[in-house]
């Protein structure tokens, strides 16, 4: 039987995922479930332990609370961006999206500078609010990270709500809350649920925020796995915890994918409501007052950590100075993490560019197969190729240690690039898939009728039209790569230190000025990335 070249091309990304994701995943399953035969004693021991059980319950609880807080912050912003137009709207939306790919250590640094014992807010109020090393700090930092997801997904669908439905309801007497509850809310509910589930998954798999801001008192499953492996060298317990985490995150990810289908169908609506201009009269009304209060809340809890890091990077010995920047770029300055800062910058850029190439190479054939082919088990295939999104960097690092520690690949740059690719490629896949769904199928059919082969029709017709999604996915892959900490920290030799790992080690050494200066560089790269995304106009969620 002759196999089409287009189907053979799919073997490349599948082979990559099998080697660098599924084999490490199976290794974790084997470590936690096999000991002279199949056993559940390690999982039972974890569930019977008071500490581990409390960690699991706290992980779920904080993820639920973080999601609710994120929705509370994001939904008003989604309404404002969907319904109103104002100067600088695109740039503001892009800047507000930057937190999503900010390194978690930078977020932790921002909150320490604001709410720590010597923080700006603590000194201003004259008392410690108890945010650092508490569950409150974890929730705030998670909301900081994830509220852009809610704003982008919900505002995108809200703009596509057909105004005729609302006009008909208003003609029948519906107003205010009744109009929103009975007409608008059902129309935007797929976006709300999909963004909530994605936020929940990210908060459930969070590592650096609970570790730095919560401490071991408020450890999550991720922190527990990391401690078991890297501190206690207990691979059995770490693997058992990872299995529990994988099972839970798979269930949550399945719900997210179901919600994403409903969201995608609603987003296909051709109706696009033009936002109304926000006039001077609006600013002087009650509506303007509410928008102002909301903007202040967003500024305090979302923008202020970024500004705190920027401010701290420009202060040296109580004076304005670029000394911290001079130090991190000075070849004479040799930090404690085993490589110069310039080496860390070079490593981050190298890993980021390599991640772009590999993640696009992996995602394109899979996106094409999901878009163009109909086959039995397609839903299961979609879940399996998106499974890396439901797997944590710490779990991936554990799997790589188990599988590759005796191979020449271990402790090389390639294993870090492979880990970054596995973490980033689901975002590329979703960005490309979203673009392909927007292409009219008759264009592809016309190319076939003119004699083009299936793969040539894709390369010549569909891929150029989906190029915006490819670029957006590539930018996300780069930004996620340079922000990654967990797997890199577990797998990198000192000479492969990245900017994010360097920031984390600066924090551990209490060198906040150097950490802030390096974090500002990452912030600048992320802001530029999302300005490009907003210019292209594609969505990745």
What is the number of other CB atoms lying within 10 angstroms of the CB of residue 286? 8
What per-residue confidence (pLDDT) applies to 257? Answer: 75
Task: State how far the alpha carbon of 528 is from the alpha carbons of 97, 352, 506, 524, 535, in Å.
Answer: 11, 15, 25, 6, 11
| Dihedral angle of Cα 354, 360, 363, 367, to the nearest 10 degrees | 180
Residue written as tokens 């649920």? 193
Do 53 and 139 belong together in one domain?
A: yes
Contact yes or no for 436/467 (Cβ under 8 A): no
Q: Which of 242, 256, 228, 504 is nearest to 392 (CA)?
A: 242
Rounded Cα gap, residues 58 and 52, in angstroms: 10
Q: Which of 250, 307, 300 is nearest to 102 (CA)?
A: 307
CA 331 to chain centre: 33
CA torsion sign for 413, 419, 423, 426 is: positive
Q: Which of 106, 396, 387 is nearest to 229 (CA)?
A: 396
Angle subtended at Cα 186 by Cα 181 and Cα 187, rounded to the nearest 5 degrees: 120
Do 182 and 156 belong together in one domain?
A: yes
Contact yes or no for 213/129 (Cβ under 8 A): no
What is the number of other CB atoms lying within 10 angstroms of the CB of residue 196? 24
Rounded Cα gap, residues 197 and 79, in angstroms: 19
Question: What are 353's two structure tokens?
Answer: 């560019």
Domain boundary among 297, 315, 333: 315
Do 5 and 116 belong together in one domain?
A: no
Do 228 and 118 belong together in one domain?
A: yes
466: domain CATH number? 1.10.3720.10
Task: State how far the alpha carbon of 390 is from the alpha carbons of 114, 246, 385, in Å.
Answer: 31, 7, 10
Do 333 and 438 belong together in one domain?
A: yes
Do 164 and 110 belong together in one domain?
A: yes
Name the packing angle between helices 104-115 and 512-536 (round to 10°). 120
Name the packing angle between helices 50-83 and 286-298 (round to 10°). 140
Domain boundary among 282, 315, 348: 315
Do 110 and 236 belong together in one domain?
A: yes
Domain boundary among 315, 334, 351: 315
Residue written as tokens 């409150």? 136
Q: Which residues contact 230 (CB under 8 A, 6 or more apart)?
A: 490
Do 97 and 11 belong together in one domain?
A: no
Long-range contacts of 45-48 (CB under 8 A, 24+ apart): 45/237, 45/240, 46/237, 46/240, 46/241, 46/244, 47/244
Q: What's the number of domains the chain is made of?
A: 2
Contact yes or no for 194/263 (Cβ under 8 A): yes
- 32: containing domain: 1-38+321-540
CA 202 to chain centre: 7
What per-residue confidence (pLDDT) applies to 91? Answer: 66
Question: What are 154's two structure tokens?
Answer: 């919900």
Task: State how far the alpha carbon of 404 is from the alpha carbons of 25, 352, 533, in Å.
Answer: 12, 22, 36
Taken as a whole, the chain contains a residue count of: 541
Do 103 and 154 belong together in one domain?
A: yes
pLDDT in tens, the chain (541 residues): 444 555 667 888 999 999 999 999 999 888 888 887 788 888 999 999 999 999 999 999 999 999 999 999 889 888 888 887 777 676 676 667 667 667 777 788 888 888 888 888 888 887 877 788 888 889 988 988 888 888 888 888 887 777 777 777 777 776 767 777 777 788 888 888 888 988 898 899 888 888 888 877 888 998 899 888 888 778 888 889 988 988 888 888 778 777 777 776 665 555 566 777 777 777 777 777 887 787 787 777 777 888 889 999 998 888 899 888 888 877 666 555 677 778 888 898 899 889 999 999 999 889 888 877 777 878 788 878 888 887 888 889 889 998 998 898 888 999 999 999 999 999 888 888 877 777 666 665 666 666 666 666 666 667 677 777 788 788 888 888 888 888 898 888 888 988 888 888 888 777 888 888 988 887 777 667 666 655 655 554 5
- Helix H segments across 227-339? 235-267, 280-283, 286-298, 304-313, 323-329
What per-residue confidence (pLDDT) applies to 334? Answer: 56
Do 530 and 422 belong together in one domain?
A: yes
Rounded Cα gap, residues 86 and 276, in angstroms: 9
Contact yes or no for 399/362 (Cβ under 8 A): no
Do 503 and 420 belong together in one domain?
A: yes
Q: What is the pTM of this model?
A: 0.82
What per-residue confidence (pLDDT) applies to 86? Answer: 72
Do 522 and 452 belong together in one domain?
A: yes
């Amino acid at each position: 039987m002759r196999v089409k070249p287009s189907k053979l091309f799919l073997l490349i990304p599948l082979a990559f995922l099998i080697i660098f994701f599924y084999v490490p995943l199976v290794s974790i399953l084997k470590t936690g479930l096999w000991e002279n035969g199949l056993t559940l004693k390690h999982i039972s021991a974890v569930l019977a332990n008071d500490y581990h059980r409390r960690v699991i319950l706290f992980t779920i609880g904080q993820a639920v609370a973080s999601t609710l807080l994120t929705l509370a912050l994001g939904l008003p912003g989604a309404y404002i961006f969907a319904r109103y137009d104002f100067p600088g709207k695109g740039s503001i939306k892009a800047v507000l999206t930057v937190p999503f790919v900010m390194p978690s250590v930078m977020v932790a640094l921002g909150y320490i500078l604001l709410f720590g014992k010597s923080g700006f807010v603590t000194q201003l109020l004259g008392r410690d609010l108890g945010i650092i090393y508490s569950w409150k700090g974890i929730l705030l930092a998670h909301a900081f990270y994830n509220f852009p997801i809610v704003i982008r997904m919900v505002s995108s669908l809200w703009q596509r709500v057909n105004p005729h439905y609302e006009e008909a309801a208003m003609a029948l007497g519906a107003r205010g809350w009744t109009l929103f509850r009975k007409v608008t809310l059902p129309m935007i509910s797929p976006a709300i649920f999909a963004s909530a589930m994605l936020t929940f998954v990210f908060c459930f798999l969070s590592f650096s925020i609970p570790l730095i801001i919560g401490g071991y008192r408020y450890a999550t499953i991720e922190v527990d796995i990391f401690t078991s492996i890297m501190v206690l060298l207990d691979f059995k317990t770490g693997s058992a915890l990872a299995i529990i985490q994988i099972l839970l995150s798979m269930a949550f990810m399945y719900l997210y994918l179901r919600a994403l289908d409903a969201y995608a169908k609603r987003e296909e609506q051709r109706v696009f409501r033009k936002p109304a201009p926000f006039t001077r009269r609006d600013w002087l009304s009650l509506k303007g007052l509410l928008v102002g209060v909301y903007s202040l809340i967003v500024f305090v809890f979302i923008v202020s950590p970024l500004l705190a890091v920027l401010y701290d990077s420009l202060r040296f010995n109580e004076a304005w100075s670029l000394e911290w920047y001079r130090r991190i770029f000075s070849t004479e300055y040799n930090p404690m993490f085993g490589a110069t800062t310039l080496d860390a910058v070079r490593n981050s850029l190298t890993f980021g560019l390599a991640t772009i190439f590999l993640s696009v190479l992996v995602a394109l054939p899979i996106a094409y197969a999901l878009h163009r082919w109909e086959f039995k088990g397609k839903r299961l295939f979609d879940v399996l190729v998106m499974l890396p999104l439901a797997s944590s960097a710490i779990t991936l690092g554990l799997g790589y240690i188990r599988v590759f520690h005796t191979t020449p690949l271990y402790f090389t740059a390639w294993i870090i690039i492979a880990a970054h690719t596995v973490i980033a490629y689901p975002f590329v896949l979703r960005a490309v898939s979203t673009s392909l769904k927007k292409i009219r199928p008759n264009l592809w059919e016309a190319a076939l009728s003119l004699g083009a082969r299936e793969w040539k029709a894709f390369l010549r017709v569909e891929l150029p039209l989906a190029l915006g999604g490819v670029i957006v996915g590539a930018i996300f892959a780069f930004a996620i790569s340079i922000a990654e900490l967990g797997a890199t920290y577990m797998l990198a030799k000192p000479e492969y230190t990245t900017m994010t790992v360097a920031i984390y080690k600066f924090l551990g050494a209490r060198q906040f000025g150097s950490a802030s200066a390096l974090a500002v560089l990452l912030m600048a790269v992320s802001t530029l990335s999302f300005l490009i995304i907003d210019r292209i106009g594609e969505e990745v969620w």
